[in-house]
Structure formats: C-alpha cells, structure tokens
Structure 1
C-alpha cells in the first residue's frame, strides 16, 4: 500500500448509523468522490450500529478495488468490536492494528457478524441461521419445547418467527431487485445486534444494486419519477411484486408484500424501519420521507428496529396485506367452493 496523506482525511462523526443516517451517507459520498485514496479519521467515532457497519463495509469492499484505504485513530475498543463483527475480514486497510485486540470475545449472545449474501439460495438459509442465532440472545427458553396448542408455537418461536420472516423477505427482495439495470453482480450485506440495556433489536440489510427507482420507474404507482417517490411506492403492498414476466429478471417470484409486512412487524413490535435509496430516505416511524441534499446511497439500505419485549405479540398472518384476488372471490361468494 502506498503512503497516504492525512491532509484530505474524512472525519467520522461521533456515531455512524440509523440515528443520524445523514451523517452516515455523507461519509459514504465523500468516500466515493475521493481520488486514489481514502483516509478516515476516527478520532471522534464512539458508536456504530448495524446500519453503519453494513453500509460502510459494503462501500469499503467496492472502493478497495481501486483505492488505498486507511483508518486512523480508531479506538482499541471499537477496533476489537468491529473485528468481532468481521468488519475487517478480507479487507486490506491501513492504520488498524488488529494485533492489539487480544483474544476474540464470545458475544454470540448479543450480536450477529456481518454476512455477505450473493445468491437467492444463500438468502433463505442465511436468514434462518441469523434469526436462530439472534433469538438465542432474546430468550433463554428451549427451542425444542412443546408448542402452545392455541398459537402453534413455543416461546422461542414467538421471538424467532418475526425476525426470520423479516430477514428472509428483506434479503430475497434485495437480491431480486438489486440485480437489474446491469447490476448482475450486486450483493447484500446483513448484520444484527441486540442491545440488552435498552432491550432493542437492530438489523441492517444493505445492497449495492440499482436502487428502487431503477426497478420501479415504469410502475404506475410511481407518479413522481424520483427516488423519494420510488421508496414510498415500494412500501405499498404488491407494488414491488415480481410475478409473471417480471420474474425472469430476478429468477424468482414474490408477491410484493415483504417490505410492507416487515414495516408492520417493526411497528407492532414498538419500532420502525428506515429505508434509503438514491438521494431519498423514508422513516416509517414518523411516516415522513425526504431528499438528502447532495448525498445518498447507490442501492438500497434498510435499518430495522424493534423492542424485544413486544416481538411475541406479532402475528405475521394478521399483518399480511389482503390478496385482491382472494378478496374478489369472497365478494363474489365463490371462495367457499374451493
């Protein structure tokens, strides 16, 4: 690696993540436009959440192919934490001394390392594995305990199922829609963590694909052909479905309700999702979307937040949007004859 000057370093904020996503995407924009080398000044950085980790990791992989990268003044605690999350795995980054972090601590009870997913076959198995690992930190109940006759699930399942559904839908949707418009090599990065002091579960699913606007530009629901309009449309039921002739582009069919239902799961569990694509961002908690000035993300970046204690109250079946075809049959009185 060539010598890197600190004169044009990019200063990282106190925190990188969903709480101040503008700062995160501002840093990403600065990294993209940097010439030849990237120097990150981490002297102020104290906190990074799953969205910050997954987004930064995805961008570092892309930029490392053509630029030298260095992180200066990263604290020993954060270095150890990021190493535990596999943030530095297979990356050549200067300025980071991994020899100082000692033995890797077992924190499997509260976090799930950054995982890169490159195929739809991987998506489902990865979602199940991550959900199982994360659920183990949310409850000490026996995963093999008898199920409740009324609900058809035990306590472990009550925590696992909303997490697994959300991960599967977000991972599969990301891969299906990201690989259009010449982005056939797009990948998805996912990571999760449970914060026991606040009883919060955070997950992030980030892709480096074409973004929502490229996928939905021709859809009649996208009246304004903007990134903001595309995100708002994608959150509506069945807008981003991938059925019939459209399935040939993604290699699979889906009903277009995954993102909608995942947002509802987060809401019922006392949380929300944050969606960023292009120059726009939407927060389901505030139900507001806006344009980010001169910054953004090339692809789709999603943060999921919920309260641990409210996960068992989630009934996925009740949150699924109604199928118009079935509703029409019921209205006509023919559903009962099937």
Structure 2
C-alpha cells in the first residue's frame, strides 16, 4: 500500500486528507505501507506534526517506509526537527547525515521548532521560546500574553487530558506580521473529554459550543484558563485578524469570535488539531 503525498500540505483540509488515509490503512490492517514524498514541495509545521503522529501510529501496526526520493524539502523537514520524532529505520532513499552536519542559521527569534508536549518542562520550554520570539521582535506585552495564554491552555490540555502524544510549533512571519501556531495530538479528543458535561441529546457540535463558549473545564482542580478563555485570547483587540480551525471528532470547525461553526464534515480519527493564523494589529 502506498500513500502519495500531494505537492502541498498546508491547509487543515489537506492534513485531514492525509490522516484519513493513515487511519484507513490501520483499519484495513495492511502489513506494509510506503509514504511517498516525491511530489512534496511545501508543508506547514502543522503538516509535519500530522505526519509524525500518523507515522508513529502506523508503525504500531505495520512496517512503514518514508520514501524521500526526489523530495525537494528534506532540508526544511530536518530544520524543524521532523526526523527527531519518527522511527529512524523507516527512512528510505535519503541520507540525513549531510543535512545534520551542515551549519544552521539561528532562527530562534522567529521560530519554535517542533516540540513534544509531555510534561511541565516541555511547557516551560515552549513558553520560554515564545517569550524569546516576541521580545526580540519588540512586540507588545499584550500580544505576548495572549499567545502564551493560548499555547499554555492547549499545551496543558495535551499532556494532562488528551491521553495521547502531542506537539507544538510557533512561527512569526515578520514581513506580514502574522503568527502561525500549530498544535495537535492523537488522543481521545475534546468531544470525548467534554461528554461528561453533555446532555444525552447533545450532538458533537453542541458539545463543542459548550466547551468553547462557556467557562467550563474538565479539570478536577480550579486551575486552567479553559477553552472559552483561549478563544477570547485568540480574538483579542491586539490582533488585526484571526483564523482558528479545529479538527476533532467527525468535523473540521471554524472557531469564531462569538461562535463555532462546522467548516467541513469529514471522517472520524483520534486526536485534536489546531491551526492558528493570527495577524498582529
């Protein structure tokens, strides 16, 4: 079985298409699968996270090979530490040593490379990196606080509540004054976590509305900002424009300032994927 990656893996819809193939392969119980990256010319950091999670889950059930022959962006994948988080024995048609041995430019003032979120130390590392990015670019403390609040809430949810693996990446695009945040896990998903507070008649959309539009939390203690406060921070007046897309359960959702709408109905697979694009005012 082969999964041929498209030229571009950037939108959450293209990530969703890849994930559908991943979990269909698991369901069909293939013995071997090849992920062919020969056509790939552009991928977002969130796309890389989806590949890491997908490959690691496939590898539990079958032999997996990542074919990098003719792939034009191996250097970029290596630069964001993609290869650090996938099994080393699955890579074919590529020698990574030449990429690992080259001199790297320091991009820590604009980029948080892919980072796993497994404990408080990882969360502290994430926060320190974000503070470095925004302080070195002279952004306001209000912007910094908004971004830290967003990432802290979601990062904490991953390692305390998702029951899966999760990763985060943050990038500042200085020319366009845009911030991209990608954060995802392969856990039980928001809907399953919030079902305990839902009524018997609530559908998935209604469960999410309650999670994002009210100050509710699944935590036993009083800590945590809650997804509602995360949503408020995403549309703060320090931002000119914000786009927040979420894949969980059977749908991709568009999180808005005062609502959450179904963006696209798709298939179910584990986890929660957030794609933030925020333009600074």
The two structures share one fold, judged by TM-score above 0.5: yes
User: Does 1:94 pair with 2:91?
Assistant: yes
1:315 equivalent in structure 2: none
Matched, 1:205 2:149: no
CA contact (8 A) 2:166 2:184 kept: yes
Number of matched pairs? 269
Deviation at 1:190, TM superposition (A): 0.6
Secondary structure class of the residue paired with 2:235:
helix
Please state if 1:49 is matched with 2:55: no
Give CA deviations for 1:32-63 in whole Å, capped at 9, x if unaligned: 23212221122222211122122221222232
1:112–1:124 CA distance, 2 compared to 1 (3 A)? closer
Of 155, 162, 177, the residue aligned with 2:161 is 177
The aligned runs of 1:51-200 (5 Å cut-off) are 51-73=46-68, 75=70, 77-90=72-85, 91-92=87-88, 93-95=90-92, 96-101=94-99, 103-106=102-105, 107-119=107-119, 121-122=120-121, 124-135=123-134, 139=137, 141=138, 155=139, 157-179=141-163, 186-200=164-178
Q: Is the 8 A contact 1:124 1:172 kept in 2?
A: yes
Contact 2:38–2:71, Cα closer than 8 Å, also in 1 = no
Distance 1:199 1:224, change over 3 A: same
**Shift of residue 114 of structure 1?**
0.8
What is the CA–CA distance in structure 2 between the aligned matches of 1:14 and 1:267, rounded to whole Å? 35
> Contact (CA 8 Å) 1:222, 1:229: kept in 2 or not?
no
TM-score w.r.t. the length of structure 1 is: 0.70
Query: In structure 2, what is the equivalent of residue 254 of structure 1?
Result: 224
CA contact (8 A) 2:249 2:268 kept: yes
Q: Structure 1's 39 and 190: CA in aligned 2 closer, same or farther, altered over 3 A?
A: same
Q: Is the CA contact 2:209–2:260 (under 8 Å) kept in the aligned structure 1?
A: no
Check 1:98–1:234 CA distance in 2 against 1; reply closer, same or farther (3 A cut). Answer: same
- Runs (5+) with no aligned partner, structure 1: 1-7, 142-154, 180-185, 311-338
The 8 Å contact of residues 182 and 274 in structure 2, kept in 1 or not, is answered as yes
Local SS of the residue matching 1:198: coil
Q: Tell me, yes or no, if the aligned pair for 1:276 and 1:296 is still in contact at 8 Å.
A: no
Cα 1:201–1:303 shift into 2, 3 Å = same
- In 2: Cα distance, 1:297 partner to 1:267 partner: 35
Query: Is residue 282 of structure 1 aligned with residue 280 of structure 2?
Result: no
Q: Is the 8 Å Cα contact of residues 116 and 190 (structure 1) preserved in structure 2?
A: yes
Tell me the distance in 2 between the aligned counterparts of 1:174 and 1:37. Answer: 30
CA separation in 1, counterparts of 2:45 and 2:209?
23
Q: 1:242 corresponds to which residue?
A: 218
1:159 to partner: Cα distance? 4.1
Calculate the TM-score normalised by the size of structure 2.
Answer: 0.83
SS in 2 for 1:89: helix
Higher Rg of the two aligned structures: 1
User: CA contact under 8 A between 1:87 and 1:114: conserved in structure 2?
Assistant: yes
* 1:274–1:282 contact (8 Å) kept in structure 2: yes
In the alignment, is residue 302 of structure 1 matched against residue 274 of structure 2? yes
